[in-house]
Every structure is written in structure tokens, then in C-alpha cells.
Structure 1
Amino acid sequence: MSPRQHEIAERVAEANAEFYQAIETGDIDLMRRVWAEEDQAPDLVCVNPGWPLLRGRAEILRAWSLIMANVPYIQYVLTETHIGVNGDIAMVTCGENVLTAEDDSPGFVAGGQVVTTNLFIRTAQGWRLWSHHASPVLLEEDDEDEE
């Protein structure tokens, strides 16, 4: 990888990290900055596990506002992150290991694994999210649990 390619991949990684930071901190203003504008990337889409497909910036940001307002705690540990760039388009694939508190009970944390594809487009403001698609991973039970 050339120094220029490495620099571009770092910028894409930063944009991807900002997306997760916005969710973890409940920062809707940061989430607005993360997503591209409609004129920069037509047909913005977002798919979260268990949700219908969200289309368009307004619908996507409304859904994220709802999620962030109703989840008291969420943390992502990303694994197997891979970044591919072709011109003004970048794709980030990764595993999301999610820890979340689903109510206000102290110490109550649920976890899950999700595989994700995030597409970014290069704009005058930097790399912006065009599409987020997250799909749950079904975990296999241990053989002992089946007996």
C-alpha cells in the first residue's frame, strides 16, 4: 500500500469510527455530520438488525435519534475490519461485538454479534456514510448445551 493509499484508508477509518462514536455517545449532531447529504450520495440506505430498510437522510436520522434516545448504554468492539477504496467510494466491512443496556437496571448488559458493511463516499467535507447494513450473526450453541 502506497503512503497515499494508507492516508486515504486512515481517513475512511476515522469516518467509520465517528459513526460508532456518534451512536455510543448519543450525539445526533455528529451522526448528521457522518451521513452524506442527498445531493452527495443519492438513495442513502440504512439496515439495522430487526428494522425495515430505511431510505433517505431524514428517515435514517429520525431512526438513529430514536435509537440513541432509548438505549441508555451501548458500546461497540469492532473486529476483522477491512477497508477497500476505489476512487471516491470506500467500503468498510467489520464485525460488531455489541454490548448494550436495554433498561436502567444497574449492571444489566446484553451482547450480540453483527456483521456490517459501511459504504462511504468522498465529499468536499471528507468521507461521508452512504450506506450502513448490519446483519446479526447466529451463534452456534455448544454441543454440551444440545444434550
Structure 2
Amino acid sequence: MVFGGIAALVSGNGSSTGPAATSAPVALASTAGEQRVQFSMCGSRRHTCVVDGDTIWLQGVNLRLESFDTPEPHNDICGGEREKALAHQASARLLDLLNNNALNVEMHGKDRYDRTLATIRIGGRDVGDILISKGLARSWPNGREFWC
């Protein structure tokens, strides 16, 4: 399978109705290794863009990035401006990371919202770990929602 010049090496296609996936990973990379992809912030057309700090669209596929969580920019769950500001910072940092680095994407089935669960690595490091280290995200599922 190819997504805009990125070849997907499929090793499983199971899905899950719960929050965790149980299928084997699907690696998204070319034979040359990591790929560069240009993202924008999502608008009405969602093809290759950043929705928020932990959700993206890649070549028309909705990916929920695993193992971390960021505040939602459009939901006022905690009722504070700090949450919205942090959500926008996390989204902007993810966009910057994706646009300025070569990526390796691993897919791991589906979540209960039918999004493909994925891990994106830059230089072997999970983008979630990068966002967590900058105080823009929390570990999932055991991290404290510090923005509330």
C-alpha cells in the first residue's frame, strides 16, 4: 500500500472497539527508511494535516497517536484558558516536528472511534515522548491531566 510516496508494509489489519488495539503493527516507511511529509493544520479538508496534539490525518487516513494525550483545542473539558493555550502549543509543536523531520509511522489497529492507532518516530524517538518532555502532553493512560 502506498500513501503519497510512503510505502506501508502491512503485517496485520485487526481492529478493536476498545481504547487499545490488539492487532500486529503496520509499519509505514519506504524502503529507504524514514520519509518527509508536509502537514498543515486541519481545516475543512482533512488529508495530510494536524487535528490537534495527538491526532493527525496522513494521506486521508485518520491517525490517533498512541501512548500520550494532549488537551483538546475545541473542547473546554477543564473550563480554563490554560487548557486551550496548552492545546494550541501542543498542536503547533507537533506540526513543527512533523514538517521538519523525517518520519517513521507504525500503525496498530483501530480505536473505538475508528481512528487508526499509530506511533510516529523521529530519529527513533516517539513524538509523544518529545511532547511529554516539553510539558505539552501526558502519558496515556496513566498520566495526570495536569492542564485541569
Query: How high is the TM-score relative to the length of structure 2?
Result: 0.29
Larger radius of gyration: 1
- More strand, by proportion: 1
The higher relative CO (CA closer than 8 Å, separation ≥ 6) is in 2
- More helix, by proportion: 1
